């Protein structure tokens, strides 16, 4: 039976590279805390954009997709889900909203985890929501020839309720130790959760939702303004590689958490860096909306699209973006690449 010794794993993870990542996150968090408090109204415009991105990305990792227009309407609760995929997307939306709005009141305990899982599947008509797995499952990989191989054999179904309970108890005990940084404890918890694989379906999505929940409870709320799920989906191959690397020998209690921990901390650092970049563009004194668009185009590396600009500046309307891009084109400051839905632009004015 697997033991969960967070103290032991914690001490082994305090390597120079991991400490450097922790230090970077702490510095970003300190720099941005006052801005978040002072500019909450301005930042509120990001929330819908990030909810859409997070819902799309986390489900896309699992092959659950719909059109971009349908997804936006579902996440903003402006239409009812129709297909099986849309029903699962709507469930994710509601759990994500619950975590965003009530994370202080959701301790990481089995009853709460089961309740979140029930919400995840509430539109699907399936009876699996809110219950631990009733049959043994395994994590498989599809090979190039179409065959499948077992990548990991999780905890048996009969052991799952007790194992999840012991994991949650050990995690809460570790959190009570003020000498241990929650940023290191959270990835260890998430990896253990994935290795238990406690549900018949929804384990990956639940792991990403729990990651947000635990980060928010620890005071790291960057996931509200930058989608951690999107950053994960954009590096999906690496995500699966480190998951495989860190889960090897998990049942023997000799696995190496470091690859998964480094990856997760890297995602958090990337989110804070992106948030910092957005903050800088939002707070440059005296810049009008067209000037902010111009500044983004000027400092952006590589191609930029209208969607990139709208994502960066939720307070700027599509019409303003289109007019500004047209003006920059006419003045020769940017060059147009492609056409239609694939239109992009590159800076061609003065030196950056």
Given a cut of 60, whether residue 351 has pLDDT beyond it is: no
Question: Given the structure tokens 């108890």, which residue do they identify?
Answer: 169
Q: Do 288 and 47 touch, CB atoms closer than 8 A?
A: no
Rounded-to-integer distance, Cα 295 and Cα 292, Å: 5
What confidence score (pLDDT) does residue 143 get?
Answer: 74
| Coil, helix or strand at residue 3 | coil
The fold for domain 286-347 equals: Arc Repressor Mutant, subunit A (1.10.10)
| Mean pLDDT computed over every residue of the chain | 92
What digits encode the pLDDT tens for the residues 85-127? 999 999 999 999 999 999 999 999 999 999 999 999 999 988 9
Label the pairing between strands 148-152 and 139-142.
antiparallel
List Cα–Cα distances, 114 to 37, 95, 164, 281, in angstroms.
Answer: 33, 12, 11, 41
- Structural domain boundaries in the chain: 6-281, 286-347
Q: Say how far apart CA 248 and CA 234 lie, in whole Å.
A: 24
* Position 352 pLDDT exceeds 60: no
Identify any residues that bridge with 178 across adjacent strands, giving them in sequence order: none
- Asked whether residue 350 carries a pLDDT value surpassing 70, the answer given is no
Across 123-137, average pLDDT: 94
Lowest mean pLDDT among 59-63, 133-137, 150-154: 150-154
pLDDT given at position 310: 87
- Partnered with residue 346 across adjacent β-strands are 335
Domain 6-281 has CATH 1.10.3290.10: yes
């Amino acid at each position: 039976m697997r033991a969960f010794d967070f103290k032991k794993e914690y001490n082994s993870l305090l390597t120079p590279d991991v400490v450097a990542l922790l230090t970077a996150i702490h510095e970003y968090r300190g720099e941005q805390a006052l801005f978040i408090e002072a500019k909450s109204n301005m930042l509120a415009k990001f929330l819908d954009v990030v909810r859409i991105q997070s819902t799309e990305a986390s489900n896309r990792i699992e092959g659950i997709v719909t059109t971009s227009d349908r997804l936006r309407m579902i996440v903003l609760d402006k239409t009812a889900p129709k297909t099986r995929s849309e029903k699962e997307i709507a469930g994710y939306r509601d759990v994500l909203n619950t975590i965003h709005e009530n994370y202080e009141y959701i301790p990481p305990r089995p009853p709460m985890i089961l309740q979140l899982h029930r919400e995840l599947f509430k539109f699907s008509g399936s009876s699996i929501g809110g219950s631990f797995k009733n049959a043994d499952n395994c994590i498989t990989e599809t090979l190039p020839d179409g065959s499948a191989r077992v990548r990991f054999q999780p905890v048996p179904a009969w052991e799952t309720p007790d194992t999840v309970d012991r994991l949650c108890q050990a995690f809460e005990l570790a959190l009570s130790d003020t000498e241990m940084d929650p940023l290191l404890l959270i990835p260890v918890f998430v990896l253990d959760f994935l290795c238990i694989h406690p549900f018949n379906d929804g384990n990956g999505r639940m792991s990403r939702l729990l990651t947000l929940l635990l980060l928010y409870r620890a005071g790291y709320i960057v996931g509200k303004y930058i989608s951690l799920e999107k950053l994960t989906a954009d590096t999906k191959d690496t995500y699966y590689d480190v998951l495989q690397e860190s889960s090897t020998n998990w049942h023997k209690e000799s696995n190496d958490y470091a690859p998964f921990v480094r990856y997760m901390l890297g995602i958090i650092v990337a989110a804070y860096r992106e948030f910092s970049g957005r903050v800088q563009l939002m707070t440059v004194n005296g810049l009008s909306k067209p000037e902010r668009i111009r500044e983004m185009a000027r400092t952006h590396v590589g191609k930029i699209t209208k969607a990139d600009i709208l994502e960066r500046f939720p307070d700027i309307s599509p019409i303003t973006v289109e007019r500004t891009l047209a003006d920059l084109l006419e003045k020769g400051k940017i060059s147009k690449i492609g056409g239609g839905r694939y239109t992009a632009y590159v800076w061609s004015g003065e030196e950056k």
